[in-house]
Structure 1
Amino acid sequence: MAVHRTKSSQRASPDVERLVADAISLAASGSHIEDQFWEERLNVRLMRLLKSQNQNVIDASLDQTFRINTLAFEVLADCAETLAESLVMEHEGQNWDVLLLALPIVAHTRYQIPSGVLPVNVIESTAAALQSSITASDTRLAIVPWLYSIDQMPHSHCQTRLLTEALATAAITSSEVKLELRDMSETIAVLADPRFIIAAVAAPSGMPLFRWQAEVPTRQERGVSLIGWQNAMQEPIAALLPGCEFELLLPEAYFTNCRLADKQVRPLSIRAAANFLESTLGVMPAGLSCVVGAFGEDQADEYRISFSLKGSAEVVYGVIWPLYDRESVANDALNDLSDDESPMKRIADALRNAGVEDVFRHAMLFDPELCDDCGAPLFPDRSGDAVHAELPDDAPTQQPLFH
């Protein structure tokens, strides 16, 4: 999905150096006409890499710009995402603008969140709701007949571009979506997770894609579109996700909505963890203690949150709070609560909202260790060790864990 940070070990190639240099030049540009020059240079280089499926160069360039120039990183990331999730396609003498959409469903449960094949009636309901609440008139749609979990989504710009091209053809020609869905990876069982319906919307070039782009009287503000979308899809999604509580987010561009859904699910993961421990161990949230630590090789890539019973050092449960490309934390501010936008402040607020009062915050950066035996992430205890999270031996085991 290309929303997580990459850890490319590739040495800087000439292609990487040119991409980085152009991104830095665009970030420093002081005029629109110069912006256009550098954007064209970047787009040509990136398009060549996307067509050749050379994701390694793109990842290495993003890594390098993230380290040396955050504004250039934003520029390069935006250009790569734009080319991966949108295109112009010619059909029968008409150019069409196409955008890949992510339709997020942020869900949590005490059981399991379904994924897999979308029933025909849900696909039909989705198309009708998009046309009535989201997309502009004269647009065409293609919907993938699959309810995606995050681990089943395209995980690179190159993969996303291939998906965009396939859906663009299906939307513009009103033909069947041709994708191989039989070999999807298994969904990891977690109690709070986003699910996605993926679609493409196409409009004649220069015409609006969304209702909020249209002119009066057909123009409709985003908030009104969201309410219409939620009302129309409430019943079909409730039938699709039995035993789940969920929130429908506004259908929007693929990468933006993937990040938004991932961020929305993080506090839900903490609430679902507290609910799970209450139902499994009979312990109210006020009877829990939490330890929070930042994990990463050179900088914080995620926070890991350990749950223990008050008065016990044993970690019984763990939740991961990932950081994404556009989030960064200085190594000397890993446990800072003074900034309302800091990850630690958001985690502390989410724990407090879930009813957990005893929270210990580490100031150190932990190595992102995994269990040698099962590959599960290790979680920090109060003494500063990274340990395995294990429920007591007498706890029910039929429900899934987060890690």
Structure 2
Amino acid sequence: MRRPSKTPRKFSTDSHRLTELAQALVLASSRMEQRAWEHELDIHLNKLLKSHHQEPIDSALEQLFPDQADAYDALMDAVEACSESSTIEHDGVSYDTLLIAMPILAWTRFSIAAGAIPPDMIATLSSHLHAHILAPDVRVALSPTLYAIDQLPRSHADTYTLMHRMTIAVLTGNAVSSAPNAPETAPFLADTRYLLATLVVPSGRPLFCWQPGAATTVSNASSAMKKAIALEHWQAQVTPNVSRLLPGCGIDLLLPEAYFVACREGDKQIRPVSLRAASYYLATTLEIESKDLHVTIGRFSEQPESNRVDEYRIGFSVGQTPDIIYGVVWPLYGQEEATEEVTSVVATDTETQTPLEQILLLLRECGINDIQRHDELFAMEFCDDCGSPFYADPEGELVHPEMPEDTPPSGSAHFH
């Protein structure tokens, strides 16, 4: 389940209407009724998003979240759909438009680049999208910016604005401008970068090569197989180009998909990469073996009284010293919150492993066997000065990670 902001908001008439529509949607007894409620909900959401009124949406989500999970998910799905896609009339023709993201997993002991993309690279990436991912007749506009996660749109209303601005660029033939005043990116050993594009096609036509009606060279294959082939070709052809944008980094490209799905997949897939990068970085920087590292795993929650685990924080120390020198956050998504315990038999299939099983297996694969787990559910606390998460040390105290003073300088700024 996706969670709303913790900041309380005013519950307005618009918020009340959104909750009513979401509740009616989940109570619908037929597909026709569902579509009728979806239509009403979309109308109301588009009005709010177009006028950049994010607060009533957030307030409605907060109202539903505690004890109306089905209605909350229904509203969140509708909000995401309305902010990343639309149907637009232009010169008497109806077009479907969709904002997509192309996640790139990157890891390095140096810095991970972000920012402007050269025009020739935009043309190359656009050609590869048409060749490997998109259906025929799709027009596309790529944003000339390589985004870090904290540079992406901050709200659904911001996402809606970006999607419409890029759609107009496609329909009018104008270039998409770079993101203005992008914030500085925090340095991490492993992080996700995103390419964004808007797809525009006459209404009712397919957007992706794996959809029904999209002519491909593997027309008899299943949708899943077409997706797998598209990803394989995308990675093979685009990785050398993206490597030029991210010098000094190892990279892995994920499948380009609808904006919110792709962003969530990027968030999930960077977690094991971050853990491996931390183990390698600490071992090489401190000139020790991974087996000399001690790991303390803490369970953290925004609301500890709810007994729900929102994320694991994995603190590293050397040997039996109590000081946490580095930390990795492993957030939980969707059903992971309900399956966070280790079972009696640890699954070997990553699809069936719980998050805690994945963490333990990854640490052992890295050569780390000195692992301590706290049973306590900690509150999610952060440093007031730098915003870094606090981690549980071996004694169960929440502390700021600090590298030893005699650590050799790395090729990047201080990592959290």
Same fold (TM over 0.5): yes
Aligned partner of 2:141 in structure 1 is 142
Residue 265 of structure 1 is aligned with which of 263, 270, 274? 270
Residue 299 of structure 2 is aligned with which of 294, 298, 309? 294
Residue 353 of structure 1 is aligned with which of 344, 358, 365? 365
Residue 329 of structure 1 is aligned with which of 337, 341, 344? 337
Match runs of 1:195-210 below 5 Å: 195-210=193-208
Is contact 1:336-1:345 (8 Å) kept? yes
CA shift in 2, pair 1:230/1:301, >3 Å: same
Aligned partner of 1:154 in structure 2 is 153
Match runs of 1:160-309 below 5 Å: 160-178=159-177, 181-215=179-213, 217-218=215-216, 220=218, 221-298=226-303, 299-309=308-318
SS at match of 2:65: helix
Aligned partner of 1:53 in structure 2 is 52
Is contact 1:335-1:361 (8 Å) kept? no
Q: CA deviation at 1:341?
A: 4.7
Is contact 1:50-1:158 (8 Å) kept? yes
CA shift in 2, pair 1:345/1:71, >3 Å: farther
SS at match of 1:306: strand
Query: Which amino acid in structure 2 is aligned with residue 212 of structure 1?
Result: W
SS at match of 1:213: coil
Match runs of 1:71-90 below 5 Å: 71-90=70-89
Is contact 1:270-1:319 (8 Å) kept? yes
Residue 393 of structure 1 pairs with residue 405 of structure 2: yes
SS at match of 2:23: helix
Residue 375 of structure 2 is aligned with which of 363, 368, 384? 363
SS at match of 1:189: coil
SS at match of 2:329: strand
**Inter-partner Cα distance in structure 1 for 2:137 and 2:232:** 22
List per-residue Cα deviations over 1:180-204 (Å, max 9, x = no partner). Answer: x241100111111111110011111
Deviates more, 1:2-11 or 1:40-49: 2-11
Is contact 1:55-1:156 (8 Å) kept? yes
SS at match of 1:382: coil
TM-score by length of 2: 0.90
**Inter-partner Cα distance in structure 2 for 1:217 and 1:10:** 48
Query: Which amino acid in structure 2 is aligned with residue 370 of structure 1?
Result: F
Residue 92 of structure 1 pairs with residue 100 of structure 2: no
- Supply the RMSD in Å over aligned alpha carbons: 2.1
Q: CA deviation at 1:69?
A: 2.2
Deviates more, 1:134-143 or 1:300-309: 300-309
In the TM superposition, structure 1's runs of 4+ consecutive aligned residues that sit over 6 Å from their partners are: none
In the alignment, structure 2 segments of 5+ residues that lack a partner are 219-225, 347-351
CA shift in 2, pair 1:374/1:78, >3 Å: closer
Is contact 2:206-2:213 (8 Å) kept? no
CA shift in 2, pair 1:14/1:343, >3 Å: farther
**Inter-partner Cα distance in structure 2 for 1:157 and 1:366:** 30
Is contact 2:135-2:214 (8 Å) kept? no
Q: CA deviation at 1:301?
A: 2.9
**Inter-partner Cα distance in structure 1 for 2:235 and 2:108:** 19
**Inter-partner Cα distance in structure 1 for 2:330 and 2:382:** 16
**Inter-partner Cα distance in structure 2 for 1:23 and 1:98:** 24
SS at match of 1:212: coil
Is contact 2:15-2:60 (8 Å) kept? yes
Q: CA deviation at 1:37?
A: 1.9
List per-residue Cα deviations over 1:322-344 (Å, max 9, x = no partner). Answer: 234x35636xx765446955332
Is contact 1:334-1:363 (8 Å) kept? no
Q: CA deviation at 1:72?
A: 1.9
**Inter-partner Cα distance in structure 2 for 1:83 and 1:69:** 21
List per-residue Cα deviations over 1:27-62 (Å, max 9, x = no partner). Answer: 232210110121122112211221221212212222
CA shift in 2, pair 1:169/1:11, >3 Å: closer
CA shift in 2, pair 1:401/1:335, >3 Å: farther
**Inter-partner Cα distance in structure 2 for 1:90 and 1:215:** 23
Deviates more, 1:84-93 or 1:373-382: 373-382
Is contact 2:135-2:215 (8 Å) kept? no
Deviates more, 1:25-34 or 1:194-203: 25-34
Q: CA deviation at 1:278?
A: 0.9
In the alignment, structure 1 segments of 5+ residues that lack a partner are none
Residue 316 of structure 1 pairs with residue 325 of structure 2: yes
CA shift in 2, pair 1:145/1:271, >3 Å: same
Is contact 2:98-2:199 (8 Å) kept? yes
Q: CA deviation at 1:105?
A: 0.7
Query: Which amino acid in structure 2 is aligned with residue 239 of structure 1?
Result: R
Q: CA deviation at 1:373?
A: 4.0
CA shift in 2, pair 1:335/1:116, >3 Å: same
Is contact 1:315-1:388 (8 Å) kept? yes
TM-score by length of 1: 0.93
CA shift in 2, pair 1:359/1:347, >3 Å: same
SS at match of 2:368: coil
